[in-house]
Structure 1
Amino acid sequence: MRKTAAKLLTAAALATSLVTIASGAAVADPAAGVTPAAQDIVGVGSDTIQSVLNQFSADYNASLGAGSTAPHLYSWDATGTSPITTKTGATSIARPNGSGAGIKALVANTSATVDFARSSRGPAATDAHGLDFVTLAKDAVTWSAQANGNAPAQLTADQLTGIYKCTITNWQQINSSLPNAAIKPFLPQADSGTRSFFLSAINVATPGSCVTSGPEENEGTDTNLTDPNVVFPYSVAHYIGQTVGGHGTTTDAPGNLSLRNVVAGGVTLTPITNNQIDTDFSNSQFGRVVYNVFRDSEWSGTDAHAQALQAIFGSNGWICNDPTAAADLASYGFLATPACGVANLT
């Protein structure tokens, strides 16, 4: 039954992978041959929300009409060739991989190079002051394991804590009926917002020595994650986008990983219901908000640059109000929130 439940979750998602994709196809990075202009709005950072931002870029720019000189929207992926020249006249920078790296790049540069950072985590005590974390949507993070592996269909929040603190290292510590095999917990690379959020959700300040860091988040195709004893955090929205939404690629895909349930407060939480994030799951400690981050001096300004930011990301802007943007968000697995466009100042 344990393995069957895991297979069913994967199969249910894959069975609906031919859902109609909202509007035109998105691309990784600005399209080949396209160099964003100096006045364009350009972002870097999180892997988790890069795909939906790419789709926003394609659809928002199309909405401006051919020949428009208004600032366009572009987003650079977390991985790829490096360094990158983000827009015309910009200083080349190392490609920021992850929420933390994107935020650092935002702080270290001006709008001549980076206008916003994608972030799948909220403000942290270590972040610079004067940043606005502007709400985009709701997501959730659960744990994943190989569909035909040794992991059970569910773990409690406390068991996840023990696994990542390395006080639980064998499946038989979970249940004596499970295989006598060492658990292999993995975490995404250090700047990952999914990593920092997941560790906070399970109350782990410092992972134990049995934990391996390094795989790109939300990429179950990584060869390090093919072991039958792997445990790996995963964005529920990104998983839905890869499978139900049909947005997976050769590398940006779950591979043979399936999402698993979490028992918290005595309640079994299921990540996906009816091909979207389960409401109870998103309202639990494993639910999160994802953001776009801006310099407050620019977000709160009154000049043309601030107006362009608000026109795209603000509560009255395109992302929070346009039907195409809403369809994009759903297609990539995220839940809309009435707080869209609201800024949280560090």
Structure 2
Amino acid sequence: MRHTAAKAFAAVAMTAALTAVAVPAMADPATGTVPASTDIVGAGSDTTQALLNQFSTDYNATVSGTPKLYSWDATGSATITPKSGAASITRPNGSGAGITALNAAGSSLDYARSSRGPQTGDLSSNLFVAFAKDAVTWSAKSGGHAPANLTTQDLFDIYSCTAGKTNWSAFGGTAGTIKPYLPQINSGTRSFFLKAIGNPTLGSCVVTGPQENQGTDPLLDDVDVIFPYSAGHWVGQANGHNDAVDDKGNLTLRSINGVAPLTASGTLNPTFANPTYGRVLYNVVRDSDWNASPATTKSTALRAIFGSSGYLCSTAGKASTVSYGYLTLAAAACGSTTHI
């Protein structure tokens, strides 16, 4: 198991060296650029922000005038002014915050990036448009005390802080008190991971706070840490879609139930992206915008970007999806819609 993991990590490093690009992983609309009131503007998930920034750059190169596509990062300034004429809002950080902002901000936001699907509490007017597939696993510091593999039950016990299950030695690792961390509360990765491991009642040993998918956080540079991570985002970071903050740092991805999250060549393992730990990635729009009748400029633009015949589902869009570490969806699934 350790030998296989080491080969995968080495392959990822080689892939990164060969495929690194100069496109920054994090970028609000360029300095001095204020999206027009008719542009398609979104915010939300940390997991997909780098890819949506790439989509924005590439899609905008294919159109003249408006509507263009823009995406605000999950972190940065405390507030943002999404588009021309809009009021400033608190910057949405995470899938949940993005969806909440979409529902509250009216026409100043047109979509929310979401790394989770519909769930209880969402509005029936929230239409989830699928575009790619990801998986979530757990990560730990390279050379630390954690083992190469944990079971779903192990993860449930760790995040429950179950007596006798708070030291890595209980799971075949090196002795050391486990430090279970979770991303901030609005994180789609957090909510998905906790559901996947059985929705444990979080114990007092669990710490909430680090930004999801940022292995550079000093709190995570610890030999006893465990932290959920988007496997696709990690691969994208390894492929050069990273910066000083949005990077995997010293964290490596670990197996669950004996299945590795990465293939030997360092890509997301389709077998790991199973019904338990695999997840579809979405952009959430308002049903009334998407299904406007007669069609409006906005509904036409939304479908031209996110729909089954839109840019994200095109050959060029899927190439970016793969470069950023995710799996593409079948033609029938890409651009499909669902709601609560």
- Scaled to the shorter chain, the TM-score interval is over 0.9
Runs (4+) of structure 1 exceeding 4 A deviation are: 4-8, 21-27
- Percent identical pairs in the alignment equals 52
Deviations 1:201-226 (A, max 9, x none): 00024321111010000011100001
The one-letter code matched in structure 1 to 2:17 is L
Answer yes or no: is the 8 Å Cα contact 1:135–1:291 preserved in 2.
yes
Q: Is the 8 A contact 1:96 1:102 kept in 2?
A: yes
| Cα displacement (A) at 1:70 | 2.8
Aligned equivalent of 1:311: 304
Alignment: residue pair count: 333
- SS at 2:338's partner residue? strand
Unaligned runs of 5+ in 1: none
Read off the aligned partner of 1:190 and give its amino acid letter.
I
1:325 pairs, out of 286, 293, 317, with: 317
What one-letter code is carried by the residue in structure 2 that aligns with 1:174? F
Give the counterpart letter for 1:169 in structure 2.
T
Q: When the two structures are superposed, what TM-score results if normalisation uses the length of structure 2?
A: 0.94
**TM-score normalised by the chain length of structure 1:** 0.92
C-alpha distance in structure 2 between counterparts of 1:303 and 1:240, whole Å? 38
Contact preservation (8 Å) 1:144, 1:232:
yes
Mark the CA change 1:5 to 1:147 in structure 2 (over 3 Å): closer, same or farther: farther
Which secondary structure does the structure 2 equivalent of 1:311 belong to? helix
Q: Do the aligned partners of 1:135 and 1:292 also contact (CA within 8 Å) in 2?
A: yes
The offset of 1:8, in angstroms, is 4.3
2:269 aligned partner: 278
Q: Deviations over 1:282-333 (max 9, x none)?
A: 1241111110001111111121111110011011111112x22111111101
Tell me the alpha carbon deviations over residues 23-78 of structure 1, each in whole angstroms, 9 at most, x when there is no partner. Answer: 966650101111100000000000000000000000000111xxx22300000000
The reply to whether residue 119 of structure 1 matches residue 117 of structure 2 is no
Mean Cα deviation higher: 158-167 or 12-21: 12-21
- Counterparts of 1:289-304 in structure 2, within 5 Å, are 289-301=280-292, 302-304=295-297
Summarize the Cα distance change of 1:24–1:258 in structure 2 as closer, same or farther, 3 Å threshold. closer
Asked if the contact 2:12–2:267 (Cα under 8 Å) also holds between the matched residues in 1, the reply is no
Residue number in structure 2 paired with 1:105: 101
Post-superposition offset of 1:227 = 1.1
Q: CA RMSD in A?
A: 1.7
Task: Give unpaired runs (5+ residues) of structure 2.
Answer: none
Say if 2:146 and 2:224, in contact at 8 Å, map to a contact too: yes
Q: Could you tell me how far apart the structure 2 residues matched to 1:215 and 1:22 are?
A: 26
- Measured after TM superposition, the shift of residue 133 of structure 1 is 0.6
Residues in 2 aligned to 1:20 and 1:254: alpha-carbon distance in whole angstroms = 16
Partner Cα distance (1:248, 1:69) in 2? 30
- SS, match of residue 62 in structure 2: helix
Counterpart residue number, 2:329: 337
> How far apart, in 2, do the equivalents of 1:284 and 1:143 lie?
16
For residue 200 of structure 1, give the secondary structure of its aligned residue in structure 2.
helix
